[in-house]
Structure 1
Amino acid sequence: MKAFYADEQKRHDPKAFLSSGSPKPNPEQPERVERLLAGARAAGCEIVRPGEHGLGPIAAVHTPEYLDFLERIYDRWQRIEGASQEVIPNIHPIARGGSYPASAVGQAGYHMADTSCPISAETWESSLWSAWSAVEAAEAVLSGEPAAYALCRPPGHHAFADVAGGFCFINNSAVAAQRLRSRAARVAILDVDLHHGNGTQGIFYARPDVLTVSIHADPIRFYPFFWGHADERGEGPGLGYNLNLPLERKSGDVEFLAALDKGLQRIRAFAPEVLVVALGLDAFEGDPFGGLSVTTPGFARIAEAIARLRLPTVIVQEGGYLCDELSDNLTSFLTGFGAR
């Protein structure tokens, strides 16, 4: 399997992170790349640098207003007297829509859901290359590869069409899915990250051509809190094309695999031509976020079950944070997926 990644993705190096009101080091660190690369190589992947694909594939799922904000906000922010070194919002609208603020402070609040996605001088470039890795993986599958892995960092599944959040700026899984739609009538996205892929759900919530399925820790007391509940089924033409399977905290392999069976059943009923797997390794029992308790061998079993769909598959990296087993968990998943 080919793994797509560019070194520019390491340049984004966020410092700020506010958790339950307490400032902490941001866990979305560049070191994640080295661990994930080691895991991909151990699984036998060929590491390939993606090409530049411009803004077209990204603008297919994100608004031009938002992309202009991401590209220019850091320089604008630095012109504010006494501004922080990273762009961090301190005000948010209670409702979005209608008027649009002209100020950098107002736009940061409008386009950034929380404080976990600070923007630095390198964020835009790293995010572009992360998205282009997803595009390249999608192109590989469209060209006949049975599967491809996009080592996307920063991750993307919390990014809406015009909002960053949860370490995410450009929604790489959505970019890959939309790229696949150029030649596939129906695309399914299966998100197995610890956290609900709220941005991905939001982008496709009213569409019947992309099925979104997410298995995650119950958001009733867990990020992203406001999305990911079982009664969210889609809206308008997309009603019935979204499935959320929230799990109790500390659920392990057995519970995760049971939810996965339900998700795979829904995917089979949708009869997609191609699949995107939003791969979060933070469901691991030893991940710093500690929400679920999937084991390292459990990731292989998850991958084996997904592989039995026998669909052309783009695997897009989402979460999975610094712990000793991070690379082993990726190796376990990719090896399990290849054992079909």
Structure 2
Amino acid sequence: MPGTQAPPTGIERLLLVGTGSSNASFLPLWVNWFQVSYPKTELRIVLTRSAQRFVTREGLSVLTNRVVFEDAWSEEPQARKLHVELANWPDAVAVYPAGMHFIARLALGLADTPAVMALQCTEAPIALAAALPPGGWESAAMRGHRAALAERPNVTVVPPVTGLSMTTGKRDGNQPVPLPRLIGSLEELRVRMGKAGDGGTGTHAGGVGAARATTQTHASATRAATETHASTAGATTQTHASATRATAETHASTAGATTQTHASATRAATETHASAAGASAETHAGTARATTQTHAGTARATTQTHASATRAAAETYAGTARAADAAAASEISGPTDPSNPTHPTGPATPLKSSGRA
């Protein structure tokens, strides 16, 4: 591998897909060679699950200082879909090595993994380095797949080279071409697509560039919309919080004022009631005292009048009795001694007969 000539290429972003073939075990050597040969080309790698039986994602991540993706649907929610990024990001796609199963899935139009779906949708040139078991390249199935892929203007399948089979030990294996040859074939396809585009609908490179520009514009617009939404949400939250605080403060003030007013009204009512009760009690007491005094005065006046009347009657009766006694005595004894009125001087007047025996 040292001294292997690197063909010139205008590829700026290369997507490398490794599939399930024992030749995937040589990927670390080829990835190191690619980075040394094309230091200005950005490289991203995707490994199928079967490819990881021969090489690890961690090992390639160390070489590229980038995350190596697994060709499988994530079980966790993803904000950015892997198959969309893999379709829009690259200038070109190299499948190395390309096993028989991967080639068949691509030819049949399947989209069961992110990488296969991305290759079905991308407009970037795709070159596959076929790596097949003995007899695989000329099989009826592979001939059908090769014919189907040949109909696609952006796909080329590079035939394998005869090599030693790791299973039979014979030179009947179908080994993938070295990666530099695949890069050369990929560059030729890219140029052909560009020339075909110049004669009609525009260059493919221009189309890919426009697609990337559209994607970047969409991403920028999405970020701007997200930031605007976040700002609006923040402003709305702050406004809502301020309004809530103001409402709470107003409610507290109103509640305080209502409480104070209620307390003042209660105190005023209590004081008025107390004053009225006191005035009523004093009026009642005054009335009671006046009534008592009037009653006492009336009783005393009545008593005094009765006593006076009694004395007058007694005196009148006594005078009448004395006068009657004096008259009776005068009739019985006759004239009296003027010097002693109590002793009569004349003869006693005889008693008149009543005419009854």
Greater length-normalized contact order (CA 8 Å, ≥ 6 residues apart): 1
Q: Please identify the structure whose Cα radius of gyration is greater.
A: 2
